[in-house]
Copies of this chain bind each other. A is one copy, B any other.
Amino acid sequence: MNTAVGFIGLGRMGLPMAQYLLDADFSLSVFNRTPSRADVLLQRGARWATSPRALAEQCDIVVSMITDDAALRTIALGQQGILAGLKQNGIHVDMSTVSPDVTQELVPLYQERETHFIASPVFGRPEAAAAAKLWICPAGPTAIVDRCRPLFDAMGQGVIVVGEEAHLANVLKLVGNFFVIAAIETLGEAFTLAEKGGLKNETVLDLIQALLPVPLFQGYGSRIAKHEYTPAGFALALGLKDVGLMQKLAKDVVAPLPLADLAGNHLRAAFARGRGDLDWGALATVIREMAGLPSGVEEPQ
């Protein structure tokens, strides 16, 4: 395909996503804060750009996969930012987990310059990215989303179009992450109750296999049953930040989200005890301790 695509953010999610774009024969330029992460792509024919702006100047569509609102503002705005380089009708599609706020802030800035900013966050952990099994959730004007479709098809297993307003995709991402943290809280309480009630972990896993045979419950169920929180698929400290975004959204739209408050307090307690680098499934350690059980993890020193 001869669409010129740029990719910024070659982390554990971004790198495999970019590789699938190469596999699909897109002409790929890349930029990353740590340049060495790009080597494997450059060897396969991708071009290096010296800044987001430089990247944007040579691309029709720029994809970003970065860590937070601040990082997105940094690569989008300013003299060396994407917006400064993007050609008329160019698209910046951000696939990160950021707040609806930053998207609402960027959309009109891009419009003023006759370019487009859309949001298209993804569901799936790094393993899913590595297997092109992501779920991709774009929102933005239909024509712009359609221009990005071939990229989405290359990187994911399915697309959920959220709507015409870009920030709605960020809302959906937060709703999705709420399902994840709710599942972790549920599992943490269930396994603790079961253990104190005399059940074996295997029996609870059998129950999950019967009632909830999906990776979300099976995966976190297995981690919690085995107290296996390293390597962190998603670090607890990041999870805490994500819950903060959900809570802010709930506040802004005036909706209750007490389950996020509950899980957030457990994550915060785990963080306060130095477990921020573990997988966020380690929320369960706090529930165990509240039941008088050992946390299941080594304490820092």
Choose among B168, B178, B199, B292 the residue that contacts A254 (Cβ–Cβ < 8 A).
B292
CB-based contact B291/A254 at 8 Å: yes
Nearest CB in chain B to that of A288: its residue: B255
Interface of chain A: mostly helix, strand, loop or mixed: helix
Roughly how many angstroms separate A244 CA and B260 CA in the complex, as a whole number?
15
Interface residues on A, range: 35 or more
A196 & B253 in contact (Cβ 8 Å cutoff): yes
- Asked whether any CB of chain B lies closer than 8 Å to the CB of A1, the reply is no
Tell me whether A168 and B189 are in contact (CB under 8 A).
Answer: no
Which of the residues B168, B259, B274 comes within 8 Å of A259, measured between beta carbons? B259
Interface status of A261 (Cβ within 8 A of chain B) = yes
**Which residues of chain A (209-268) have a CB below 8 Å from chain B?**
210-214, 216, 244, 246, 249-251, 253-262, 265, 268
Kindly report how many copies of this chain are found in the complex they form together.
Answer: 4
| Cβ-neighbour of A197 out of B175, B192, B214 (below 8 A) | B175
A interface residues (Cβ-Cβ under 8 A, vs B): 100, 123, 135, 137, 158, 160, 162-163, 165, 168, 171-172, 174-176, 178-180, 182-183, 185-186, 189-190, 192-194, 196-200, 203-204, 206-208, 210-214, 216, 244, 246, 249-251, 253-262, 265, 268-269, 271-274, 286-287, 289-292
Q: List 17 A-B contacts (CB under 8 A).
A: A100-B197, A135-B211, A163-B198, A163-B203, A165-B198, A171-B194, A171-B198, A172-B203, A179-B207, A179-B212, A192-B255, A193-B249, A193-B257, A254-B291, A255-B272, A258-B262, A273-B292
